[in-house]
């Protein structure tokens, strides 16, 4: 990411973060805001919203914090309440990537709805477009007649890849299926999934490739895309697959229901149901007319609702509102001091 920022003309400032709460890190943020005369702070993810909110309050600049998923809330209830309290008081607007994610956070009782907004993630629809690619298939020795079912996302519990493995086991009577998971794998979970794969007798039909760049090339190798997540704030990979002309099966895990209209531009299935996943995959393979209909509608959905330009326009409007409001407040405060 650092190299990409530099290549695009940005000047990244790297500030190390130590411990659960680092005052030196906060001081570094404030120093950067003042030195570079920053007019607005944009943060992403839960902890960044806390630090960004405090820096914005101390420096007198508005803060927009985007939350992409449900956080792992460790520590005591008092510590969690303190974090939410900072966000509620110091962040100008909390942006959620889906309405379901906003409702989850509002259900905690810690946030004010009138200081929240929903802006869906967007993609470059010209980069993510139907362009058949066989590089990954050739690398993994997957034949053109085999049906390649893919999933993209880091290997972590919320992705529920065990459900995908069990769905693959349901479909193993059809040897033409191959399953590939593309995403960074750390910790003990990858080994547990490999053990489950062997236990289910899947052998080489299920492959974990690790992290890959150029996701648009990866997507265009797939015949079908499957998301088996138990919780998704949005699911950018689902949108990417839809844009690439890859039909999608996704669990009702939050974000996907706001992307896909069932049996219109994709198929939705219940959580933790390998049988439903397998049935949906089988249907898309055996019903070419349905597959073509969903692919055509999915591309239209992306172009109408999930382009990066639409997302940028929404953020620009929010930024403009926030900066203008802050300047009005400053002007009033200065007028009062001079009176």
Residue 226, judged by CB atoms within 10 A of its CB (0-12, 13-18, 19+), counts as buried
Q: What is the pLDDT of residues 296-307, one digit of tens each?
A: 999 999 999 999
Instruction: Give the β-pairing of 177-182 and 248-251.
Output: unpaired
Strand order in the sheet with 63-67: 41-44, 63-67, 93-96, 116-118
Model confidence at 106: pLDDT above 80: yes
Residue 30, judged by CB atoms within 10 A of its CB (0-12, 13-18, 19+), counts as middle
Residue 237 to residue 239: CA distance in whole angstroms: 5
Model confidence at 74: pLDDT above 60: no
pLDDT value at position 128?
98
> Please, what's the b/e burial string for 150-177 (b: 16 or more CB within 10 A of its CB; e: otherwise)?
bbbbebbeebbbbbbbbbbbbbbeeeeb
User: Cα 274 from chain centroid?
Assistant: 23
Mean pLDDT along residues 309-314: 98
Select the more confidently predicted residue: 19 or 59. 59
End-to-end CA distance of the chain: 49
pLDDT value at position 192?
96
Model confidence at 326: pLDDT above 90: no
pLDDT value at position 328?
77
Which of 126, 132, 155, 153 is CA-nearest to residue 222? 132
Q: What is the pLDDT of residues 83-99, one digit of tens each?
A: 899 999 999 999 999 99
- Joined together, the tokens standing for residue 37 give 């005369």
Mean pLDDT along residues 315-324: 96
Q: What is the pLDDT of residues 144-199, one digit of tens each?
A: 899 999 999 999 999 999 999 999 999 987 769 999 999 998 889 999 999 999 99
Q: What's the full length of the chain, in residues?
A: 339
Mean pLDDT along residues 247-263: 98
What string of DSSP letters covers 290-325? HHHHHHHHHHHHHHHH-BHHHHHHHHHHHHHHHHHH
> Please, what's the b/e burial string for 296-329 (b: 16 or more CB within 10 A of its CB; e: otherwise)?
ebbbebbeeebbeeebeebbeebbeebeeebeee
Class for domain 2-122+308-338, per CATH?
A: alpha beta
Model confidence at 250: pLDDT above 80: yes
Class for domain 135-305, per CATH?
A: alpha beta
Domain range summary for the chain, segments of one domain joined by +: 2-122+308-338, 135-305
Using an 8 Å Cβ cutoff, are 40 and 62 in contact?
Answer: yes
CA angle 253, 288, 301 (to 5 degrees): 45
Model confidence at 243: pLDDT above 60: yes
Using an 8 Å Cβ cutoff, are 169 and 274 in contact?
Answer: yes
pLDDT value at position 79?
78
What's the pTM?
A: 0.91
pLDDT value at position 175?
67
pLDDT value at position 34?
96
Instruction: Give the β-pairing of 93-96 and 248-251.
Output: unpaired
Model confidence at 73, pLDDT cuts 50, 70, 90, reads low
Mean pLDDT along residues 270-274: 98
Count of C-beta atoms within a 10 Å radius of residue 335: 9
Model confidence at 77, pLDDT cuts 50, 70, 90, reads confident
CA angle 266, 269, 270 (to 5 degrees): 155
% of the chain at pLDDT higher than 70: 97
Tell me if domain 2-122+308-338 and domain 135-305 are identical in fold. yes
Q: What is the pLDDT of residues 3-33, one digit of tens each?
A: 888 888 888 988 888 887 899 999 999 999 9
Mean pLDDT in the chain? Answer: 93
């Amino acid at each position: 990411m650092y190299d990409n920022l530099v290549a695009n003309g940005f000047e990244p400032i790297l500030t190390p973060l130590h411990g659960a709460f680092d005052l030196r890190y906060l001081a570094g943020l404030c120093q950067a805001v003042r030195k570079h005369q920053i007019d607005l702070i944009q943060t992403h993810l839960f902890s960044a919203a806390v630090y960004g909110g405090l820096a914005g309050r101390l420096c007198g600049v508005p803060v927009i914090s985007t939350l992409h998923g449900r956080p792992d809330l460790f520590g005591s209830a008092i510590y969690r309440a303190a974090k939410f309290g900072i966000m509620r008081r110091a962040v100008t607007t909390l942006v959620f990537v889906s309405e379901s994610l906003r409702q989850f956070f509002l259900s905690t009782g810690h946030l004010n709805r009138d200081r929240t907004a929903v802006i869906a993630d967007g993609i470059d629809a010209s980069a993510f477009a139907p362009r058949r690619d066989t590089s990954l298939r050739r690398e993994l020795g997957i034949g053109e007649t085999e049906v390649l079912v893919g999933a993209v996302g880091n290997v972590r519990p919320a992705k529920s890849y065990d459900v995908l493995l069990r769905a693959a086991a349901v479909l193993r009577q059809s040897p033409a299926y191959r399953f590939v998971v593309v995403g960074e794998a750390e910790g003990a979970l990858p080994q547990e999934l490999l053990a489950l794969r062997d236990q289910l007798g899947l052998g080489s039909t299920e492959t974990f490739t690790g992290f890959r760049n150029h996701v648009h090339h990866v997507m265009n190798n797939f015949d079908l895309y499957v998301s088996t997540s138990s919780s998704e704030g949005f699911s950018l990979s689902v949108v990417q697959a839809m844009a690439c002309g890859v039909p999608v099966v996704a669990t009702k895990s939050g974000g996907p229901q706001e992307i896909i209209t069932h049996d219109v531009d994709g198929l939705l299935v219940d959580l933790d149901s390998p049988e439903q996943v397998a049935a949906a995959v089988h249907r898309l393979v055996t019903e070419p007319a349905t597959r073509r209909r969903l692919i055509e509608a999915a591309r239209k959905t992306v172009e109408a609702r999930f382009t990066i330009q639409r997302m940028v326009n929404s953020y620009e409007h929010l930024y403009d509102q926030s900066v203008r409001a802050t300047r009005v407040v400053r002007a009033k405060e200065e007028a009062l001091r001079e009176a």
